[in-house]
Amino acid sequence: MSRWTLALLLAIVVGIGGWLGYASSRPPDFHEYRVTAVEAAQAARDGLLIAGLTADALLGGRAMAPYVSTVLDDAGSSVADAGGRFAALAPTDQRMVAIRDELTPLLTEATTRLGDVLRAEANDDVPALRESIRPLRPLADRLAAFLDRHG
Amino acid sequence: MKRLLAVTLGILTAIGGFVDIGDIVANAEAGARFGVALAWVVVVGVVGICVYAEMAGRVAAVSGRPVFDLVRERLGPRVGLVNLAGSYLVTVLTLGAEMGGVALALELVTSVHYLLFVPVVAFAAWVVLWRVRFETMERVFGLLGLVLVVFIVALFRLPTDWSQLWGQASHPVPAGDENWGTYGFFAVALFAAAMTPYEVFFFSSGAVEERWSTKDLLTSRANVFIGFPLGGLLSLALMATTAVVFHPLDVQVETLGQTALPVAIALGKIGLAVAILGFFAATFGAAMETGLSAGYTIAQYFGWAWGKFRRPREAARFHVVLQVSVLVGAIALFTTIDPIMLTEYTLVGSAVVLPLTYLPILVVANDRDYLGNRVNGPLANTLGLLYLVVILAVATAAIPLMVMTGVGG
């Protein structure tokens, strides 16, 4: 390999590295922010509905506790991960701030509600589990409305 | 009577062995997002694998040598090396994904985190690959995989709106908010899941392991033309159950546990336990197949002694490759990459290397030096060429679609 080829390869590697560094640290544009918000809302909605279906299956005697526990854990993690990715982006204009103010309370509530379901399931507390799944569907509907507006 | 029994057993094994983690993930995700609007891709993929597996089985039965061995001899070491590099990488990552599937299935019955099971699964995989006879291994996991038929039963127990399913299947377009890019990505994933390269390596090398000859062409064709399509039906059932339960709610499926939920809703605890057993058998069986395929490709390229029909001492390098491949698969999982995500990447990788696998098979299946008068007829060649065009299109589109949609978004 000649020196020029080596230099060219190095320049390409440095260029790609620099671009990746810039891309990962630059502030988000509106499109990127909206896409992350929509993904977080979708993940939260999915998590709530899956948790509802799974807890229903447990209450109806149609699923084993370890299975339910795993699926609920996965749902909780998925919502927390998506919420974390959204929270990591700082809004840089008013439109982004409006989205943040609309979505953040919904995500916080989703995390809380899923926590309630997980706790009730872990404690084997049937009345609490039945109570905890009641607000899931209305909250999922509010997230669906958010998705309709911004998706 | 004995022969009929052997053929039947072979067919049942092929049905149960058809589904792997790629099929489970791709079909469940596609069903939740698109209903059964992508069912046609499964049909196209199953016909494709039938066309090429028949060629691979015939080559092995007539020549007594597996396809990869002949590829190197017929096309030369350079082409063979390109083929080897692509196929081995994808096969080993698929092995990792399959072991991840086994660990996830175990997590569903214990609620212990799947990563804790990875070393256990890797060790079990190595022991089975080392000690258990080829035929026993293939039959046990193939037949156990048949329990995935529980998804077909569940489909009939769910409040399935058959006319709606038919409406989705007969209007193959993106539903709701989905776009053509995502639809295309899932079409590529489903096609790659049905035509995963390791399947033909395993099928043709397995034919040599079982010492097939021209007398076994009937068995080969029965496995391919009856077993594979019925295996494809299991894939369609997976897609349809998630289509019935999740698609109307617009919920995306992201985990193995969610894939089993429709069965729990329809059939309760016993159905759920059977579904999880099916996941375990399908993924463990596929881990064996991918592990062996990794060993087959390397050993056959370098001309080493290979196969489980030999004692491990006589095929030491082959067994070392098996061990290393299992280890690499386990290491891939220990990066903490989500096994479902790993599966999605391996499906894209499979799609990219499809031409490297299937073009040489078509070439070898037309070589009279190896096959005499058993070379491809006009129908096999027409279908083979037609599928080669599809395969090239899929391979070209795979990475752009993955980037464009963020791995299916």
Q: Note the pLDDT tens digit of each residue in B337-372.
A: 999 999 999 999 999 999 988 998 999 999 999 899
- In eight-state DSSP terms, residue A124 is T
Q: Note the pLDDT tens digit of each residue in A26-54.
A: 777 889 999 999 999 999 999 999 999 99
Helix axes B339-364, B197-209, angle to 10 degrees: 60
Tokens of B408: 């299916």
Contact A66 B276 (CB under 8 A): no
Q: Are B37 and B169 in contact (CB under 8 A)?
A: yes
Helix, strand, coil percent values for chain A (each to nearest 5): 85, 0, 15
Q: Is residue B134 part of a domain?
A: yes
Q: Note the pLDDT tens digit of each residue in B246-266.
A: 999 999 999 999 999 999 999
Is residue A24 scored above 70 in pLDDT?
no
Q: Which chain A residue lies closest to B113 (C-alpha atoms)?
A: A70
> CA B388, CA B202: separation in Å to the nearest integer?
20
Is residue B401 scored above 80 in pLDDT?
yes
Q: Is residue B157 part of a domain?
A: yes
Contact B272 A64 (CB under 8 A): yes
Residue A134, classed as helix, strand or coil, is: coil
- Between A1 and B64, where is the model more confident? B64
Q: Which residues of B98-123 are buried (b: 16+ CB within 10 A; e: fewer)?
A: bbbbbbbbbbbbebeebeebbeebbe
Task: State pTM to two decimals.
Answer: 0.91
Q: Which chain B residue lies closest to A60 (C-alpha atoms)?
A: B268
Query: Chain B within 8 Å of A42 (Cβ-Cβ)?
Result: yes
Contact A62 B110 (CB under 8 A): no
* Structural domain count of chain B: 1
Q: Are A147 and B250 in contact (CB under 8 A)?
A: no
> CA B232, CA B169: separation in Å to the nearest integer?
15
Q: Are B58 and B220 in contact (CB under 8 A)?
A: yes
Residue B108: which of A49, A61, A66 has the nearest Cβ?
A: A66
Contact A46 B252 (CB under 8 A): yes
Task: Give the other-Cβ count within 10 Å of B267's Cβ.
Answer: 20
A56 CA to chain B: closest CA distance, Å?
9
Q: What pLDDT was estimated at residue B70?
A: 82
Contact A74 B257 (CB under 8 A): yes
Contact A67 B276 (CB under 8 A): yes
CATH code of the domain covering residue B267: 1.20.1740.10
Residue A74: which of B177, B250, B255 has the nearest Cβ?
A: B255
Output the average pLDDT for chain A.
92
Q: What pLDDT was estimated at residue B201?
A: 86
Q: Is residue B4 part of a domain?
A: no
Q: Which long-range contacts (CB under 8 A, 24 or more apart) does B319-325 make?
A: B319/B129, B319/B130, B319/B295, B321/B294, B321/B295, B322/B126, B322/B129, B322/B130, B322/B291, B322/B292, B322/B294, B322/B295, B323/B126, B325/B91, B325/B92, B325/B95, B325/B291, B325/B294, B325/B295
Residues of chain B with a CB closer than 8 angstroms to some CB in chain A: 107-111, 177, 245, 249-252, 254-255, 257-258, 260-261, 264-265, 267-269, 272-273, 276, 409
Is residue A25 scored above 80 in pLDDT?
no
Q: Note the pLDDT tens digit of each residue in A62-98.
A: 999 999 999 999 999 999 998 999 999 999 889 999 9
Q: Is residue B174 part of a domain?
A: yes
* Domain map (residue ranges) of chain A: 29-150
> CA B189, CA B183: separation in Å to the nearest integer?
10
Contact B268 A54 (CB under 8 A): no
| Band of residue A10 on the pLDDT scale cut at 50, 70, 90 | confident
CA distances from B307 to A119, B71, B140, B297, B317 (A): 51, 18, 19, 11, 11
Residue A151: which of B110, B177, B245 has the nearest Cβ?
A: B177
A71 CA to chain B: closest CA distance, Å?
6
Contact B111 A74 (CB under 8 A): no
> Per residue, what are the HEC states of chain B?
CHHHHHHHHHHHHHHHHHCCHHHHHHHHHHHHHHCCCCHHHHHHHHHHHHHHHHHHHHHHHHHCCCHHHHHHHHHHHHHHHHHHHHHHHHHHHHHHHHHHHHHHHHHHHHCCCHHHHHHHHHHHHHHHHHHCCHHHHHHHHHHHHHHHHHHHHHHHHCCCCHHHHHHHHHCCCCCCCCCHHHHHHHHHHHHHHHCCHHHHHHHHHHHHHCCCCHHHHHHHHHHHHHHHHHHHHHHHHHHHHHHHHCHHHCCCCCCHHHHHHHHHHHHHHHHHHHHHHHHHHHHHHHHHHHHHHHHHHHHHHHCCCCCCCCCHHHHHHHHHHHHHHHHHHHHHHHCCCCHHHHHHHHHHHHHHHHHHHHHHHHHHCCCHHHHHHHCCCHHHHHHHHHHHHHHHHHHHHHHHHHHHHCCCC
Best to test chain A binding among B179, B255, B274, B405 (most A CBs inside 10 Å): B255
| Band of residue A6 on the pLDDT scale cut at 50, 70, 90 | confident
Q: Note the pLDDT tens digit of each residue in B87-129.
A: 899 999 999 999 999 999 999 999 999 999 999 999 999 999 9
Nearest to B203 by CA among B360, B14, B69: B14
Q: Is residue B5 part of a domain?
A: no
Query: Chain B within 8 Å of A34 (Cβ-Cβ)?
Result: no
- In eight-state DSSP terms, residue A91 is P
| Band of residue B178 on the pLDDT scale cut at 50, 70, 90 | confident
| Band of residue B134 on the pLDDT scale cut at 50, 70, 90 | confident
Q: Note the pLDDT tens digit of each residue in B198-233.
A: 888 888 898 888 888 888 898 889 889 988 999 999
| Band of residue B74 on the pLDDT scale cut at 50, 70, 90 | confident
Residues in chain A, overall count:
151
- In eight-state DSSP terms, residue A61 is T
Query: Chain B within 8 Å of A65 (Cβ-Cβ)?
Result: yes
Q: Please report how many Cα atoms fall inside a 13 Å half-sphere around the Cα of residue A4, on the Cβ side.
A: 0
Q: What pLDDT was estimated at residue B264?
A: 97
> CA B133, CA B331: separation in Å to the nearest integer?
26
- Between B139 and B329, where is the model more confident? B329
Domain A29-150 has what CATH class? Answer: mainly alpha
Q: Is residue B1 part of a domain?
A: no
- In eight-state DSSP terms, residue A135 is T
> CA A135, CA A133: separation in Å to the nearest integer?
6
Is residue B1 scored above 70 in pLDDT?
no
